Structure 1
Amino acid sequence: MGKQHSNRGALLTSNLPQLQNLIKRDPQAYRDEFLQQWNHFQSIQRIWKLQSDMADDSHHFRELVSFIAQVAQCYPEQTKEFPNELATLLRDNYAGLTPELRRSFMQNLVMLRNKEVITSLDLLRNLFPLLPRTTSSSLRSFIRTTILTDIKTANARTKNHKLNRAVQAMLFGMVEKDMDAEVQGDRGKIRGSSHPDTSTPSTKGVEALWAVLLTKELWKKGIWNDAKSVSIMALGCFHPIAKVQSASLHFFLGEEDEEEESDSEEEGPDIKALQHRRGINKKTRSGDKKLAKAEKIARKKRKENNQEAIPNFPAIQLLHDPQSFGEKLYDGLLRYDKRYSLDHKLLIMQLLSRVMGGHKLCVLGFYTYVMKYLTYHQLRVPLILVSLAQSVHDLTPPDALVPVVRKIAQEFVHPGVGPEVIAAGINAIREICKRQPWCLSEEDGGQELLGDLVEYRKSRDKGVVIAARSLLQLYREVNPGLLKRRERGKGASMGMAAGAQPLPYGHQRATTDIDGLDLLESHLNKIKGEDDGDERMSDDEAGWENWDVESDDESSESEGGWMDVDSDGEQEFDLSDSEDEAPKNIPEEPKQDEPKQPPTLATTKILTPADFALLQELRIKEAQRAVDSGGGSHSKRRLAQLEAHRKATAMTTEDDPSAGIVTEANILGVRKKSKATYEERMASIAKGREGREKFGSSKGKKKKAVMSSSTNKEKGRNKPMMMVRQSSAVRAKKMASIKEKQKRVRAHIERAKKSYH
């Protein structure tokens, strides 16, 4: 029996998959065989620590580790230290391990987590330090996917706050690790090496970069959306490594970073590589088609990326101390101005302006700093003007904006520049004045400047005219007193005559006076009255049952009793359920000498977005009713304005969430259509040929009721001039005498007289 057992052990030792299958079926029966393999693993592990270069035994060692990981849950007492030993072996000897061993060890750790031998936190603690040390792109992608999938699975049903707090603490420590290092700018860096790939473990900023990228990915997937994740990204905005700072800035701006684009699996084709290959290889039609298809896909990908560039407003709102955050951004921008490239400084300026506009902060030094970039020949100047306009709000001191507005007017709006520059300058001033109208005032000479800008509405360029008219319309609404009398318009002049004054600086207008609020109030009262009426009807029907019995048991005085009413019906009833409500079945007519009371709905109810949508529909219905009853041109204009406003609101809420912010299109304004390229002209020609026969003309054939050829007269109209000159009719006219010509003229006159009469 002992010989048979020894033979079986020897057989199973050389066949680990079979032994693994048998152990899973009956762990206790094969306990000795497992202990034999376990001791073998311990001995190899000790040898490995003394001599890490054992490439010959790597295959056997990999199979042995996989075997123990598969059956570890069957012998928890013996293998309780196995995960720690495996993690230590992977961490301490990472550089000496072969790529196959690294992947195998990581996969076994993931399998132990799936079998619940170790927790998610233990797995993540072992994987996070390995991520920046990995040089293989496939292995790095495996680790990244494993981390994201494990955190997503842990938060699938409910938020795993314990795991999230622990992982966020690890990521925060990874970002905070190199915060004391020297600031390294991105000016003059090699653009091609932007991938977070590193060959040495001591490279600074790699751990912080991966922490930022993982936090950004978890936020994008909706797994983390709390303030702690925002704190990690906010700390990354002040990291001394430019890559980490750029990735954090892109998170708040909602844009794709270079590191993310290189790691994305859905990246478009490399057009430059295809064009280079096309120039080397043999020229074929199929190659041209492949290149054109790749360029089309790349253009579509770029268009989608541009459409998704929406600022991350929820993250900006979750900032812990926005004022300190904005001041630190400005201090870094000012201190390291010469170390950062223009693109990097633009990222900081964009985020600073978003924070200032979103939280209504006052970082007054920013307006002084940005003035040196306000020249029409400055690179990326439209984006600089966007950042400037976005930073302004109704609490920004006008004194800080007066020099900025004058600098824009001096640099952009004068006859020495092109119409596109003038339009951009006027649009930028309009966006600033829209947020703070008092940056142009009579005390600072703003009235003369505004008059000069408004005069550009007489320009020949369409973009300049639209920009000047939009500025004129803005001040007709907010402060018509700064405009000349002939420029104020009828509505603004009547408002000033009635005593309307512009809202002073720092004040906000009350929202009780909302156009059409009485319509909403009457509509809600009508709905409430119908609901109350249905309830009263059901109560009355139930109350009329056995009415004679109830009337005998209870006195008429306690129930109100019977009331004597006149036959004419002059007595009015109050059938409401509440004593505080007025009778709804018989509304009272307002007296002629008493004015109508203003609606109190705005002061008694918080209006929701659904209420405002209902209010908009009620306004349109009322305007349509006025038009149908013959309201005139005024009613038609009001209906058109309301419908346009509804369309714009629908586009803002559904298709374009960024419609409320300033973009480069708002600054550049309307531009002339550029001349079509050769490819665009050929595409237009091909589109016009669709649905048409390839050759020949259909004239005289398919367009007639009876198909036939053309007549000789129709053919004569299309003959060349050289053939017509040789005809007998033309030669007879040329050779005709004076008498014949006079005869033809008289005949023509006679025919003309007859046709006239």
Structure 2
Amino acid sequence: MTRAHSSRGPLLTSNLPQLQNLIKRDPAGYKEEFLQQWNHYQSVMLIFEHRPAEHAEQFRELVTFIAQVSQCYPVETATFSSQIASLLLRSFSTLAPDTRKSLVQNLVLLRNKGVINSIELLQTLFPLLSQTTSTSLRSFIRRTILLDIRTANQKAQNHKLNRSVQAMLFGMLERGMGAEMIGDKGKLRERLNEAPRRSTDEAVWAIALTKELWKRGVWKDEKTVSIVALGCIHPSAKVQKAAYYFFLGSEDDDEPCSEEEDEGPDIKQLKHQRLVKKKTRSEDRKIAKAVKIAKKKTKTNDDAKGNTNFWAIQLIRDPQTFAEKLCDHLQRYDKRMSLDHKVLIMQLLSRVMGYHKLCVLGFYGYVVKYLTYHQLRVTVILVALAQSVHDLTPPDVLTPVIRKLAHEFIHPGVGSEVIAAGLNAIREVCRRQPWSMEEDLLGDLVEYRKSRDKGVMVAARGLLQLYREVNPGLLKRRERGKTASMANSSVTPLPYGHAPKPAVDIEGIQLLQEQNHSVSDDRGEDNWEGWEVESDSDESSSDWIAVSSEDEGDIVISDSEDDGDRSTRPPAPKEYSATPHPVESIATTKILTPADFALLKKLKSESSPHTSEGNRGTKRKANSTSAAIESEQATFVTEADIMGPRKRVKADYEERMASVREGREGREKYGSKKGKKSKDVPSSTTNRQKARNKPVMMILSSNAVRSKKRASLREKQQRLRKGKR
């Protein structure tokens, strides 16, 4: 055996696949041969770094061989993975395409074999995304990153890996945050091409990968949203657009991941192959399955298009600061950005303001200059304006906006569609803040209900009906309607800043009650241990007036009803019960300690609808949160709400032909089917055959019969010779 083994040595040296197979069977028996190849790899590595073009093929073969058997000799190959990773990061642009692909594939192989962990692999792959120019290699790297993170979080949350990956994505975004903002308007695009592209490409890929992980349900937490929120204020316009589309729920055509998405089977190509190839039942089933998949994918894309990502907007950390940064960015770089880019910012800012009920007053002053009927994409701007308004928006800020809408959109000098859009926009704004309307202006607007145009009439009636319900006092007596007139009292909305009912508890405090948690007594010192508490000697207490013990006798504080004059006390509110409910008793009779608030925060995070079970992206949501999201989507304003009902426009040639083709689908070739189904060989009937079936009285006065009667003898002979009667 020893002689045979030694005689095979020279052969194994030149046949690496055979040696690889033998090493996997007996690592200890072939350790000498492996060390020989390992030393050869080290020497080739040194030569390859100086002259990569000469020994590229030999170097790839050695790297592939060592990667396949590295798990058999972990001590000897301890530095192998770091050498490959450093070579890729250091000399990726100078390597040949085949060498790049081979090194990346072998590095992924080491991860699959467990030689390196996910963090070591991802630290190498993330920088390569922005450097590679090969579409296939970039697609392979992207799939590897997504698959590795998804697999690691499949059974349970891998918090260590998630924190490391999120830190990498944050770093990819922050590396370009100090650059100057270069917009995408006109000649500024040329300057954008001259700017450093690496930081921009890294940021684009960071946003794209984060969106993909969110879409697949791997990440559904605040840190994921924070990564995309940071991209909204990135200096690159391309990165900003990718982040805006994430919150708005639509797809970006320029996004790298969107280009490589599977668009489904090509139905047209399959039908063409069906005509050329042999007709079989398997081909028919294949086409039917492909059509079903294509319809399902089209329906999914249509459902996802234009739907705001309310879950992500809800998880924005410090939404007020985020909205103020967006508004400041919009005003500062107004002349550098194109209209489409500014519209995206308006849409996102309005969604955040409307959902979180924020007051960013600078937005209304900015949007006023775009409220003209000849402005491009004015309907989308009107939608953003209406969506940003809520019951906490100051009415005095909205009143000039409504005046501008009425002045620009509602007058005899514009078309009926413009008037209808203006009335609908004013109605949507006033629906959210009724106090923003003036009485005189409302009286003029509701007069348009007598218009002959259907769209204008419906829009004016909608505005009239709105104020009949919320504030009929602003209408004239004859316009208030039957209900308000019979009530003999005007129904007015709540004053600005007033809530329908006062707050009686703390948000989420019912979770403490459900957990049978007894709120600790505020006098216990153990519950305040480890928490920072202001002392009596702080500077903030300097505003308090010190009262000496001698003056304490002049101050009488008593809860007894027998002390003092009872007539000077305001009466207790009648709408509240003397005995509070269980939740109210905790909020009104106890002082919650920091430990109680920490437990409350933990319970709220555990019951959050974004917490995934087994991290498989399950979409189990709490009933209260789902109801809030559904109500928000119900009040969502669309362009159809602004435009209102419109007359059907006459179809052009393309639309008519599309309708004709749609009617021909699913049936045989059009034409008469008479005489085709009853015969073995399909054929039509002649005119003589059709004449035989006619009634006699129908053909007696025909020209053929009368010509026979008037025919001469010679004409009858000629007819008989031709075989005619």
Q: TM-score, normalised by structure 2?
A: 0.69
Q: Do structure 1's residue 264 and structure 2's residue 239 form an aligned pair?
A: no
| Aligned-residue offset at 1:315 | 1.1
Q: CA 1:363 to 1:320, structure 2 compared with 1: closer, same or farther past 3 Å? A: same
Offset, 1:696: 8.9
Task: Within 5 Å, give how 1:10-49 maps onto structure 2.
Answer: 10-49=10-49
Pairing of 1:132-281 with structure 2 (within 5 A): 132-188=130-186, 203-260=198-255, 263-267=259-263
Q: Does 1:509 align with 2:500?
A: yes
SS state of the match for residue 181, structure 1?
A: coil
C-alpha distance in 2 between matches for 1:656 and 1:311 = 13
Secondary structure at the aligned position of 2:238 is classed as helix
Pick one of 338, 362, 387 that aligns with 2:335: 338
CA contact (8 A) 2:232 2:239 kept: yes
Which of 648, 652, 674 is matched with 1:677 structurally?
652
CA contact (8 A) 1:268 1:298 kept: no
Q: Distance in 1 between matches of 2:659 and 2:197?
A: 58
Q: CA deviation at 1:493?
A: 2.2
Residues 508-567 of structure 1: per-residue CA shift (max 9 Å, x gap): 32499xxxxxxxxxxxxxxxxxxxxxxxxxxxxxxxxxxxxxxxxxxxxxxxxxxxxxxx
Query: C-alpha distance in 2, partners of 1:349/1:321?
Result: 19
1:294-313 counterparts in 2 under 5 A? 304-305=301-302, 307-313=304-310
TM-superposition CA deviations, 1:268-319 (whole Å, max 9, x none): 899xxx9xxxxxxxxxxxxxxxxxx99xx99995994475221111111111
Kindly tell me: are residues 314 and 696 of structure 1, through their superposed partners in 2, closer, same or farther at Cα, counting changes over 3 Å?
closer
Alignment of 1:636-675 (within 5 A): 658-675=633-650
1:694 correspondence with 2:685:
no
Shift of 1:458: 1.2
Partner of 1:635: none
From the superposition, tell whether residues 5 and 373 of structure 1 become closer, same or farther in structure 2 (CA, over 3 Å): same
Letter in 2 for 1:665: A
Q: Which amino acid aligns with 1:426?
A: L
Partner Cα separation in structure 2 for residue 131 and residue 693 of structure 1: 54
- Percent identical across equivalent pairs? 60
Judged with a 3 Å threshold, the aligned counterparts in structure 2 of structure 1 residues 709 and 485 are, in CA distance, closer, same or farther, namely farther
Which residue of structure 2 aligns with residue 465 of structure 1? 457
Contact kept? 1:135, 1:199, Cα under 8 Å:
no
- Once residues 394 and 265 of structure 1 are traced to their aligned partners in structure 2, the CA distance between those partners, rounded to angstroms, is 42
Deviation at 1:204, TM superposition (A): 3.5
Corresponding position of 2:283: none
> For structure 1, which runs of at least 5 residues remain unmatched after alignment?
275-292, 441-445, 513-597, 607-651, 699-707, 723-757
The separation in 1 between residues aligned to 2:11 and 2:195, in whole angstroms, is 45
Q: Secondary structure at the match of 1:258?
A: coil
Give the partner amino acid of 1:52: P
Query: Compared with structure 1, are the counterparts of its residues 150 and 435 closer, same or farther at alpha carbon in structure 2 (3 Å cutoff)?
Result: same
- Could you tell me how far 1:255 is from its partner in structure 2? 1.2
CA drift at 1:370: 0.6
Within 1, Cα distance between the matches of 2:297 and 2:32? 63
Cα deviation for residue 662 of structure 1 reads: 0.8
Question: Separation in 2 of the partners of 1:714 and 1:435?
Answer: 76
Superposed CA RMSD: 3.8
| Alignment partner, residue 482 of structure 1 | 474
3-state DSSP of counterpart to 2:198:
coil
> Residues 249 and 304 of structure 2 are in contact (CA less than 8 Å); yes or no, is this contact kept in structure 1?
no
> d(CA) in 2 for partners of 1:246 and 1:688?
40
CA contact (8 A) 2:184 2:337 kept: yes
- Verify the 8 A CA contact 2:368 2:401 in the aligned structure 1: yes
Q: Closer, same or farther in 2 for the Cα pair 1:489/1:599, shift >3 Å?
A: farther
The alpha-carbon distance between structure 1 residues 50 and 304, as it changes in their structure 2 partners (threshold 3 A), is closer
Which structure has more relative contact order (CA 8 Å, sep 6+)? It is 2
Which amino acid in structure 1 is aligned with residue 53 of structure 2? D
CA distance in 2, matches of 1:697, 1:225: 64
Q: Distance in 1 between matches of 2:647 and 2:210?
A: 43
SS of residue matched to 1:338: helix
Q: Is the 1:208–1:244 contact (alpha carbons within 8 Å) kept by the matching residues of 2?
A: yes
Question: CA separation in 1, counterparts of 2:217 and 2:300?
Answer: 24
User: Quick check: 2:234–2:240 contact (8 Å CA) kept in 1?
Assistant: yes
Q: What residue is the counterpart of 2:427 in the other structure?
A: 430
Equivalent residue number for residue 522 of structure 2: none
Separation in structure 1 between the aligned mates of residue 196 and residue 48 of structure 2, nearest angstrom: 22
Contact persistence 2:228–2:243 (CA under 8 A): yes
Structure 2 distance, partners of 1:38, 1:13, is: 11
Q: Deviations for 1:460-493, whole angstroms, at most 9, x for unmatched residues? A: 1111111111111111110011111121111222
Q: How does 1:366-515 map to 2 (within 5 A)?
A: 366-440=363-437, 446-495=438-487, 497=488, 500-510=491-501
Structure 1 counterpart of 2:78, one-letter code: K
Q: CA deviation at 1:5?
A: 3.8
Q: Aligned pair count?
A: 546
Q: Do the aligned residues in 2 keep the contact of 1:360 with 1:393 (CA within 8 Å)?
A: yes
Residue 507 of structure 1, CA deviation: 2.0
Secondary structure of the structure 2 residue equivalent to 1:228: helix
CA contact 2:387–2:637 (8 Å) conserved in 1:
yes
Counterparts in 2 of 1:119 and 1:693: CA distance versus 1, 3 Å: closer
Given residue 461 of structure 1, which amino acid in structure 2 is its aligned partner? D
Once the two structures are TM-superposed, the CA of residue 58 in structure 1 deviates from its matched residue by 1.9
The answer to whether the 8 A contact 1:269-1:298 is kept is no
Q: Distance in 1 between matches of 2:41 and 2:404?
A: 76
Q: Cα gap change, 1:313/1:669 in structure 2, threshold over 3 Å: closer, same or farther?
A: same
- Any conservation in 1 of the 2:449–2:461 contact (CA below 8 Å)? yes
Unaligned runs of 5+ in 2: 270-289, 504-574, 584-626, 676-691, 704-725
Provide closer, same or farther for how the CA distance between residues 262 and 312 of structure 1 changes in structure 2, counting only shifts above 3 A.
closer
CA distance in 2, matches of 1:41, 1:58: 12
Change (3 A) 1:350 1:104: same
**CA separation of 1:469/1:169 partners in 2, compared to 1, >3 Å: closer, same or farther?**
same
* Partner Cα separation in structure 1 for residue 663 and residue 64 of structure 2: 66
Distance 1:255 1:605, change over 3 A: farther
| 1:53–1:96 Cα contact (<8 Å) kept | no
Structure 1 residues 193 and 123, CA gap change in structure 2 (3 angstroms): farther
Mapping of residues 453-602 of structure 1, within 5 Å: 453-495=445-487, 497=488, 500-510=491-501
Q: 1:505 to 1:714 in 2, by over 3 A?
A: farther
CA contact (8 A) 2:48 2:59 kept: no
Q: How far is the alpha carbon of 1:385 from its aligned partner?
A: 0.3
- Alpha-carbon distance between aligned partners in 2 of 1:502 and 1:104, rounded to the nearest angstrom: 71
- 8 Å CA contact retained: 1:121, 1:166: yes
Inter-partner Cα distance in structure 1 for 2:468 and 2:136: 62
Q: 1:641-672: CA deviations, max 9, x gaps?
A: xxxxxxxxxxx999999443111111111111
Structure 2 vs 1, CA of residues 78 and 321 (structure 1 numbering), >3 Å: closer, same or farther?
Answer: same
Indicate if the aligned counterparts of 2:188 and 2:336 stay in contact, CA closer than 8 A. no
CA displacement, residues 351-374 of structure 1 (integer Å, 9 cap, x when unaligned): 111111111111111111111000
**Distance in 1, Cα, partners of 2:249 & 2:651:** 33
Contact 1:20/1:71 (<8 A) preserved: yes
Q: Which residue of 2 aligns with 1:351?
A: 348
Shift of 1:250: 1.0
Q: 1:192 to 1:114 in 2, by over 3 A?
A: farther
Q: Which residue of 1 aligns with 2:61?
A: 63
- Residue 311 (structure 2) aligns with: 314
Larger gyration radius, structure 1 or structure 2: 1
Amino acid in the other structure paired with 2:146? L
> What SS is found at the alignment partner of 1:18?
helix
